[in-house]
C-alpha cells in the first residue's frame, strides 16, 4: 500500500469514528425548513440525509450505512488513477440514430452538454500505483449508462488495445442495460464486447470488473460478468432483470437486499466487496499477483 | 416473399398452431437423443438439447421450447430459460466442440426468465458466459430464429457463424410491448413500437445481424408445417457443408468480425 492511501484509510477511519450514527441523524433538516436541494444528500438505501459537502468528503459514501453512491467519471478517475497519468482512447466516438428513434439525437446532445462527456463510457490508459492498465469508466448520469453502439465499440476497442499492448483491463461498470433507442444494434454490442474479452483472455491478460451502482440488464449479461476477478462496491445494485419486472412476475414485493452487492457475494457471483477508500491498493495487489511490473516514473497518488 | 408489417408478423408468430421445436426436431434430425441437465443444478425444460444426424452429419441441437398448448407451456416455462438452461446449452456446445460436431441452435423465446431464483443462480452470468464461450467455440454454429428472438435470452443461443430467420420471425432487444412501456410509459403503443424498432428478418438482414431468410408458406408456418420444415432443411443442407469446409481459425475470425462490424456511430478524427 502506498503511503498516501494508507493516510487516506487512517483519515477516513478517524472521520468515521468521530461521526456516530446519531450525529448524522441529528443533521436531518427539520420538517418545513427550506434548504436548497443541492446542499443535501439523501441516501437511497437508508434514507439518512446528510450535508452534501460532508458526504462528498467521504468519497460519496453514505456515512450511516456505507452505500457507495453514484459518482461521475471524473470523480472516479481522480480517485482511481495516479495523478496526471490518464490518456483517453477513442474520445471522438458519438452516437448516431440507427432506428430513427424520435428525439434521440436531441437527447444525446443535451446529455453531452450537461455531463460534459460524449458518451456513457470513457476509456483510456492510466497508471494505478504505477501499474499501467487500460481503464473504462461508465457514468450513469449519461442515459443511465445504457449500452449502445458507442459504448460497445469503445469497450471493444479498449480490450483490443489491451490485447495488443499486453495490458490488464479494469472496468468500472454501471448501466441500466442495453440502449433500447438503438434497437437490435444495442443487443449486438453484448456479443461484440464479449468477443473482445475472449481474445484478451486467450492472450493471457487480466480483466478486473468493478461493479458500481447500478450494474444491470445487458451489461450484467455481458462484459460486467466476465472479469477474471469481479469486485463490487458495498450496497450497490447488481442484477439482470429489473426489480419491478420480477415483482410483476411473482406478484409480491422483493426484500430490500435483493440484487445487492452482498446478495451477489452470497450467491457466488462476485469475488469480493471492496470499499472505495481501499480500491487502489486492492487493484494494485491484484496487478502485482498477476506478474505485471510497475513503471518507473511516479507522479504522485490519486488526485483525490 | 410477403411484405407484411412487423405487427402482422407479431400476430403470426403468436398463432396457436405455429410449429415449435417439438415439431421441427423429429422432422429435421434422425436418431435424435435428448441429453439432459447442466451438471450443476438441474435440467431446464425451456431448452431441449441433444445429438442427432442431419443427413449424414452428426450435429448437436440446442433449442428453446415453446409449448403447443398450456400444459406444454407450463412445463417449458413458456420458453423462458433459467440459468441452468443456458448452462446446459454451454455444456452441450463444449461437448460438440470436443467431437467436432456442428451446433444448430433453434431460437424461440420471449426472453430469459425474470425471477428470484433466476437472479440467485446468476441469469446475467449464465448469458454472459455463453456469449464469450460461443464466440470462440471451435466448431461451426448455425442459429435459426423460428418465432420470437427476445433479447439477451435469445442472444445467448445466437452467437454463431450464421444467423437465419424464418420469414415472419422477429428478433429484438426487448419486446415491442416492453419498449413502449419503458420508453413511452404506454404499453398500449405496442404496435407502433413494433414498426419503429426494425425487428423483422428483412430489417436484420439490412443491419448485418441476420444472414439468411427462410421462406414460410403464404399465411405463415402453421399453414403448412411440412413445407416450412423442408425450407429449413434446405437451408441447413446448404449452410452446413459450407461452414464445415472453413478452417477453424478462419471460421473464428469470421465469427468475431461478423459481430465486430455491428455498430452505428460517428467518429471525429484527431481527438
Ligand atoms: Zn445510507
ipTM of the complex: 0.97
Q: Does residue B265 belong to any structural domain of this protein?
A: no
Task: Give, as one character, the DSSP assignment of residue A217.
Answer: H
CATH of the domain at A89: 3.90.226.10
Which residues does B11 contact at the CB level (< 8 Å), separation at least 6?
Answer: none
User: Taking 70 as the threshold, does the pLDDT of residue A159 lie above it?
Assistant: yes
Lowest mean pLDDT among A26-40, A133-147, B140-154: A26-40
Position B226 scores a pLDDT of 97
Position A252 scores a pLDDT of 85
Count of structural domains, chain A: 2
Position A49 scores a pLDDT of 93
Lowest mean pLDDT among A49-63, A134-148, A167-181, B95-109: A49-63
Residue A52, CA distances (Å) to A14, A165, A215 in order: 19, 41, 24
Q: Are residues A242 and A144 in the same domain?
A: yes
Q: Are residues A171 and A219 in the same domain?
A: yes
Q: Are residues A93 and A196 in the same domain?
A: yes
Q: Does residue A298 belong to any structural domain of this protein?
A: no
Q: State how far the Cα of B125 lies from the Cα of A271, in Å rounded to an integer.
A: 13
CATH of the domain at B164: 3.90.226.10
Residue of chain B whose Cα is closest to the Cα of A194: B132
Strand spans (E) along A200-279: 207-215, 229-232, 272-273
Residue A255, CA distances (Å) to A163, A185, A263, A278, B230 in order: 41, 34, 11, 29, 50
Q: Are residues A213 and A270 in the same domain?
A: yes
Q: Are residues A106 and A177 in the same domain?
A: yes
Which residues does A3 contact at the CB level (< 8 Å), separation at least 6?
Answer: none
Containing domain of residue B205, as a range? Answer: 6-260
Q: State how far the Cα of B176 lies from the Cα of B187, in Å rounded to an integer.
A: 8
Q: Are residues A127 and A254 in the same domain?
A: yes
Q: Are residues A53 and A167 in the same domain?
A: no
Q: Are residues A50 and A114 in the same domain?
A: no
Residue of chain A whose Cα is closest to the Cα of B153: A221
- Tell me the residues of chain B between 143 and 162 that have a Cβ less than 8 Å away from chain A: 151-152, 155-156, 158-159
Q: Are residues A35 and A131 in the same domain?
A: no
User: Taking 50 as the threshold, does the pLDDT of residue A3 lie above it?
Assistant: no
Is this structure's pTM higher than 0.90? yes
User: Taking 50 as the threshold, does the pLDDT of residue A12 lie above it?
Assistant: no
Q: Which residues pair with A125 in a beta bridge?
A: A87, A134
Which residues does A291 contact at the CB level (< 8 Å), separation at least 6?
Answer: none
Q: Does residue A297 belong to any structural domain of this protein?
A: no
Q: Are residues A42 and A78 in the same domain?
A: no
User: Taking 80 as the threshold, does the pLDDT of residue A58 lie above it?
Assistant: yes
Position A1 scores a pLDDT of 38
Cell numbers given for B246? 472453413
Q: Does residue A64 belong to any structural domain of this protein?
A: no
Cell numbers given for A296? 518507473
Residue A36: band (very low, low, confident or very high) from pLDDT cuts 50, 70, 90: low
Q: Are residues A184 and A281 in the same domain?
A: yes
Residue A244: band (very low, low, confident or very high) from pLDDT cuts 50, 70, 90: confident
Q: Does residue B238 belong to any structural domain of this protein?
A: yes
Residue A189, CA distances (Å) to A159, A233, A282, B89 in order: 13, 25, 30, 21
Task: Give, as one character, the DSSP assignment of residue A14.
Answer: H
Ligand 1 is an ion; its neighbours by CB within 5 Å are A 43, 45-46, 62, 64-65, 67
Containing domain of residue A278, as a range? Answer: 73-289
Position A296 scores a pLDDT of 79
**List of chain B residues with pLDDT < 50:** none
Q: Does residue A127 belong to any structural domain of this protein?
A: yes
Q: Does residue B267 belong to any structural domain of this protein?
A: no
Distance from CA of A189 to the nearest CA of B (A): 7
Q: Does residue B253 belong to any structural domain of this protein?
A: yes
Q: State how far the Cα of A290 lies from the Cα of A228, in Å rounded to an integer.
A: 11
Residue B238, CA distances (Å) to A110, B53, B131, B212 in order: 49, 15, 25, 11
Q: Are residues A179 and A260 in the same domain?
A: yes
Q: Does residue A295 belong to any structural domain of this protein?
A: no
Position A4 scores a pLDDT of 40
CB-based contact B197:B172 (threshold 8 Å): yes
Mean pLDDT of A120-134: 97
Q: Does residue B110 belong to any structural domain of this protein?
A: yes
Q: What percent of chain A has pLDDT over 70?
A: 87
B265/A240 CB distance under 8 A: no
Position B116 scores a pLDDT of 94
CB-based contact B262:A150 (threshold 8 Å): no
Residues B186, B189, B190: CA angle, nearest 5 degrees: 110
Cell numbers given for B123? 441469469
Cell numbers given for B46? 425451456
Count of structural domains, chain B: 1
Considering only CB atoms, B114 lies closest to which of A91, A153, A245, namely A245
Amino acid at each position: 500500500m502506498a503511503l498516501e492511501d494508507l493516510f487516506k484509510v487512517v483519515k477516513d477511519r478517524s472521520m468515521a469514528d468521530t461521526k456516530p450514527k446519531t450525529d448524522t441523524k441529528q443533521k436531518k433538516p427539520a420538517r418545513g425548513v427550506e434548504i436548497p436541494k443541492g446542499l443535501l444528500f439523501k441516501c437511497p438505501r437508508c434514507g439518512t440525509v446528510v450535508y452534501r459537502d460532508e458526504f462528498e468528503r467521504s468519497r460519496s459514501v453514505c456515512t450511516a450505512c456505507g452505500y457507495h453512491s453514484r459518482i461521475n467519471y471524473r470523480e472516479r478517475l481522480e480517485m482511481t488513477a495516479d495523478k496526471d497519468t490518464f490518456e483517453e482512447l477513442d474520445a471522438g466516438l458519438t452516437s448516431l440514430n440507427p432506428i430513427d428513434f424520435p428525439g434521440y439525437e436531441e437527447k444525446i446532445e443535451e446529455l453531452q452538454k450537461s455531463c460534459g462527456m460524449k458518451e456513457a463510457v470513457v476509456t483510456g490508459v492510466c497508471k494505478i500505483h504505477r501499474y499501467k492498465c487500460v481503464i473504462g469508466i461508465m457514468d450513469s448520469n449519461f442515459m443511465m449508462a445504457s449500452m449502445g453502439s458507442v459504448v460497445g465499440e469503445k469497450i471493444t476497442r479498449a480490450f483490443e488495445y489491451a490485447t495488443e499492448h499486453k495490458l490488464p483491463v479494469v472496468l468500472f461498470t454501471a448501466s441500466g442495460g442495453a440502449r433500447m433507442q438503438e434497437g437490435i444494434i444495442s443487443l449486438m454490442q453484448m456479443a461484440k464486447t464479449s468477443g473482445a474479452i475472449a481474445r484478451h483472455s486467450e492472450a493471457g491478460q487480466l480483466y478486473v470488473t468493478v461493479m458500481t451502482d447500478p450494474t444491470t440488464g445487458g451489461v450484467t449479461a455481458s462484459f460486467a460478468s466476465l472479469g477474471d476477478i469481479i469486485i463490487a462496491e458495498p450496497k450497490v445494485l447488481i442484477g439482470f432483470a429489473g426489480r419491478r419486472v420480477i415483482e410483476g412476475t411473482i406478484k409480491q414485493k422483493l426484500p430490500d437486499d435483493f440484487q445487492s452487492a452482498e446478495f451477489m457475494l452470497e450467491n457466488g457471483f462476485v469475488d469480493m466487496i471492496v470499499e472505495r477508500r481501499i480500491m487502489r491498493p486492492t487493484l494494485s495487489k491484484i496487478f502485482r499477483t498477476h506478474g505485471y511490473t510497475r513503471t518507473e516514473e511516479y507522479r504522485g497518488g490519486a488526485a483525490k | 416473399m410477403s411484405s407484411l408489417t412487423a405487427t402482422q408478423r407479431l400476430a403470426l408468430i403468436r398463432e396457436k398452431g405455429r410449429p415449435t421445436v417439438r415439431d421441427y426436431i423429429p422432422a429435421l434430425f434422425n436418431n435424435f437423443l435428448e441429453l439432459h441437465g447442466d451438471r450443476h443444478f438441474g435440467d431446464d425444460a425451456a431448452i431441449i438439447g441433444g445429438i442427432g444426424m442431419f443427413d449424414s452429419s452428426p450435429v448437436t441441437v440446442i433449442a428453446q421450447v415453446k409449448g403447443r398448448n398450456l400444459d406444454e407451456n407450463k412445463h417449458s416455462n413458456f420458453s423462458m430459460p433459467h440459468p441452468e438452461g443456458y448452462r446446459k446449452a454451454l455444456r452441450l456446445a463444449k461437448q460438440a466442440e470436443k467431437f467436432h460436431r456442428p451446433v444448430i441452435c433453434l431460437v424461440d423465446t420471449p426472453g430469459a426468465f425474470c425471477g428470484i431464483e433466476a437472479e440467485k443462480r446468476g441469469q446475467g452470468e449464465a448469458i454472459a458466459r455463453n456469449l464469450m464461450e460461443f464466440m470462440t467455440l471451435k466448431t461451426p454454429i448455425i442459429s435459426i430464429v423460428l418465432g420470437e428472438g427476445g433479447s439477451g435470452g435469445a442472444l445467448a443461443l445466437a452467437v454463431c457463424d450464421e444467423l437465419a430467420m424464418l420469414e415472419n420471425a422477429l428478433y429484438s432487444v426487448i419486446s415491442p410491448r416492453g419498449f413502449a412501456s419503458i420508453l413511452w410509459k404506454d404499453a398500449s403503443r405496442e404496435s407502433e413500437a413494433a414498426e419503429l424498432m426494425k425487428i423483422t428478418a428483412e430489417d436484420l438482414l439490412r443491419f448485418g445481424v441476420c444472414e439468411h431468410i427462410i421462406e414460410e408458406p403464404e399465411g405463415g408456418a402453421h399453414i403448412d408445417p411440412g413445407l416450412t420444415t423442408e425450407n429449413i432443411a434446405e437451408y441447413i443442407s446448404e449452410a452446413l457443408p459450407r461452414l464445415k469446409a472453413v478452417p477453424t481459425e478462419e471460421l473464428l475470425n469470421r465469427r468475431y468480425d461478423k459481430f465486430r462490424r455491428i455498430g452505428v456511430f460517428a467518429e471525429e478524427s484527431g481527438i
